Structure 1
Amino acid sequence: MSDSGSDSVHSLYANHHAWLHGWLKRKLGCSFEAADLAHDTYVRLIASRRFPQPDESRAWLMQIAKGLVVDLYRHRQIEAAFRDSLALMPEDRWPSTEQQAIAIETLVEIDAVLASLPARVREAFLLSRFDGLTYSEIAVRLKVSVASVRKYMLRAALACFATLAA
């Protein structure tokens, strides 16, 4: 990072960290989680290599932090759904704690990939994989051709595979 980038981060941190931590603490109700997300906010800012003008600093930091809060809540929802599905199985068939953590992280990554896809692509994939609809049924539901459904499914599958391969 250049000296000006370092100076920008130092200045942002010195001038806004306490405010950001306080805002996150009010939002999350937990000082420890707020500290983690405040840290992650600066890490994301540094990784982007884009720094706001001084009068835009809080807006930028809040925008990044809001995204991290959304990610945290989505992660919690996925983890809760995974735990709920485990509860339906006999405990002796549960994966190890390590395997559970890997599965949850993989589900979080796939969720992020699906969220990044266009709505029709995502919907076609979910209708096929989770509702068990055929391509013809999906085409009728989405009011598109079966060929379009095939393209949507290929796009979604490639995105998921790329995530799993990374």
Structure 2
Amino acid sequence: MDTSTPPDRIDALYIQHHGWLVGMLRRKLGNVDNAHDIAQDTFLRILSTGEPLSIREPRAFLTTVASRLTAQYFRRLALERAYLEALAAQPEATAPSPETRQLVVEALAAVSNVLAGLPARTREIFLLSQLDGLTYGEIARLQQVSVGAVQKAMTKAFMHCYGAVYGGDA
């Protein structure tokens, strides 16, 4: 099979590269089941764009999409682990139901994915404001930037979050 020919259809891309992608992900993740899941999600992500495929380097493209999904997977695992550790520290009577735990983990993963779409400095400024409760002046001193730069970063962060929630620009 010639893998150098750029596929123009998702089925050709799948047939030519699915096995390779699963193998690459298995080596990266150390688990064939997770590799199959992320490979499937990779092709679903490509299919969901609804755009015609015109890929010159299919494996590089697949690697990029799969790497992003793998990063999301690891972020979700880390969030879930941190949440479960926090729950373990709570008295038994205040422990949420398994359904509530799942909803919280999904919400944390969604928030993490939205924040991952921000530039590092903007994300840091946003978190200092929203989680740590610092004023713009305090953030400006801490980050060694002007208050105007903090305001600009916060506007960018809020616009990004709005777009993620409502599917468009404000």
Q: TM-score range with shorter-chain normalisation?
A: 0.7 to 0.9
1:115 aligns with 2:116: yes
Q: Which amino acid aligns with 1:25?
A: R
Q: Which amino acid aligns with 2:53?
A: F
1:127, 1:138 within 8 Å by CA — same for their partners in 2? Answer: yes
Cα deviation for residue 91 of structure 1 reads 2.0
Cα deviation for residue 35 of structure 1 reads 0.9
- Root mean square deviation, CA, Å: 2.5
Q: Note the 1:81-96 alignment, pairs <5 A.
A: 81-96=82-97
Structure 1 gaps of 5+ residues are 1-5
1:34 aligns with 2:35: yes
User: What's the % identity of the aligned pairs?
Assistant: 41
Counterpart in the other structure of 1:51: 53
Relative distance call for 1:57 and 1:165 in structure 2 (3 A) is closer
Cα deviation for residue 38 of structure 1 reads 1.0
Counterpart in the other structure of 2:9: 8
Secondary structure of residue in 2 paired with 1:133? coil
Structure 2 gaps of 5+ residues are 1-6
Which moves more between the two structures, 92-101 or 110-119? 110-119
> Aligned pairs, how many?
160
2:8, 2:52 within 8 Å by CA — same for their partners in 1? Answer: no
Q: Which amino acid aligns with 2:10?
A: V
TM-score (norm 2): 0.79
Q: What is the CA–CA distance in structure 2 between the aligned matches of 1:155 and 1:10, rounded to whole Å?
A: 38
Q: What is the CA–CA distance in structure 1 between the aligned matches of 2:64 and 2:10, rounded to whole Å?
A: 16
Q: Note the 1:55-70 alignment, pairs <5 A.
A: 56-70=57-71
Q: Which amino acid aligns with 1:119?
A: A
- Larger helix proportion of the pair: 1
Q: What is the CA–CA distance in structure 2 between the aligned matches of 1:41 and 1:163, rounded to whole Å?
A: 20
